[in-house]
Amino acid sequence: MAHIRYVPLDEIPEEDRVADTDNILRIHGVNSPTMRFHYDFYRHLMFSRGPLTRVQREMIAVVVSGANECHY
């Protein structure tokens, strides 16, 4: 559970809302342009063309999260 208040979606300006409502992104609702930037950056990293496949990128994310003892 985050120690930062989740901003209700209806309080986030429509231009900053994203198609993903996971809690990590919702925390950025306190500064909604940051939420839009984080989401766009994530989409670019995970879905753009590059030397790694989508599966390889997800595997790296899981390993890093485990190493950092993330609870999500």
Mean pLDDT of all residues belonging to the chain: 86
pLDDT band at 41 (very low <50, low <70, confident <90, very high): very high
Asked whether residue 2 is assigned to any structural domain, the reply reads no
- What is the arithmetic mean of pLDDT over 9-19? 86
For 43-69, letters b (16+ CB in 10 Å) and e give eeeeeeeeeeeeeeeeeeeeeeeeeee
- What is the arithmetic mean of pLDDT over 35-41? 88
- What is the arithmetic mean of pLDDT over 48-62? 95
Asked whether residue 62 is assigned to any structural domain, the reply reads yes
Asked whether residue 21 is assigned to any structural domain, the reply reads yes
Asked whether residue 4 is assigned to any structural domain, the reply reads no
Q: Residue holding tokens 């809690």?
A: 23
Asked whether residue 1 is assigned to any structural domain, the reply reads no
- This prediction has a pTM of 0.67
